[in-house]
Amino acid sequence: MDIRTIGVVGAGQMGNGIAHVMAQAGFDVLLNDINQDALARAVATIDKNMERQVTRGKTSPEDKAAAMARIRTTQAIADVGQTDLIIESATEREEIKNKIFESLTPHLAPHTILTSNTSSISITRLASRTDRPERFMGFHFMNPVPVMQLVELIRGIATDQPTYDACHAVVDRLGKTAASAEDYPAFIVNRILIPMINEAVYALYEGVGNVRSIDQAMKLGANHPMGPLELADFIGLDTCLAIMHVLHEGLADTKYRPCPLLTKYVEAGWLGRKTKRGFYDYRGEEPVPTR
């Protein structure tokens, strides 16, 4: 299947990053969100990030202008239905994703492929709520999308080979690398990464170290580019907690029990960088540990 048009549902951090790379790769992109302000912010963010790429010599002003011209926005979910490939990139809550796919169903073209950028939720279960489980799969980008080279491709139990091949071809056209994952909770990257972060929060909770010492230990002792608590703030503590819940409920193993301190931070609304406070306080000139 020749994919030319991409629909992206959700104009948040992941959605605008996906729209960015798709437009640069030559696809016509229709970015959807229920909030017009979110769409305006997304386009401004894409423009700013592409301008940074121009400044660094990663792209030319002409290519940037052409890519920006390939991005359109809409608040009407029906408009997205006629695109060749739809990537849902809404909040990591299954009920919201199901509502999106249900609202799309009456407007879909017969050939349209549905995908979700979910970082942990069952692809088989999401697909079963649509009219085309054979043309549904997981299309999981890493954050920040324009920088990270990996895309996880996850087949549901019904996903057919042409759908997988078409999505793999899109990843190749983006210049990224596809990793095929089976449809188990959290797939590959988050199955390994998020429990490590949760364990770092337990180390903080139990007083093994403070925020700064835990992050320094992993950066200097394990050669990680970012400490686990700093990384959790970057991902979003609510997202980390949601993935731990998926792992705990889906695999029924106590080793995936979310740390109570992670739950407490989320309950406080301290979700990391996006709320200016998490394991670090970002309200000043330099991030300051909160514990």
Q: Which residues are catalytic?
A: 119, 140, 152, 190
Cα–Cα distance, 280 to 263 (Å, whole number):
16
CB environment 92-115: b (16+ within 10 A), e (fewer): bebeebbebbeebeeebeeebbbb
Pairing mode, strands 288-289 and 5-9: unpaired
DSSP β-bridge partners for residue 23: none
250 CB-near residues (< 8 Å, 6+ apart): 122, 184, 185, 186
Q: What is the dihedral of CA 92, 90, 138, 112, to 10 degrees?
A: 150
Tokens of 243: 């993935």
Sign of torsion, CA 139 143 145 147?
A: negative
Which residue, 66, 65, 82, 107, is CA-closest to 30? 82
What does the alpha-carbon distance between residue 163 and residue 104 come to, in Å, rounded to a whole number? Answer: 18
Amino acid found at 38: A
Cα 219 to Cα 223: distance, rounded to the nearest angstrom: 5
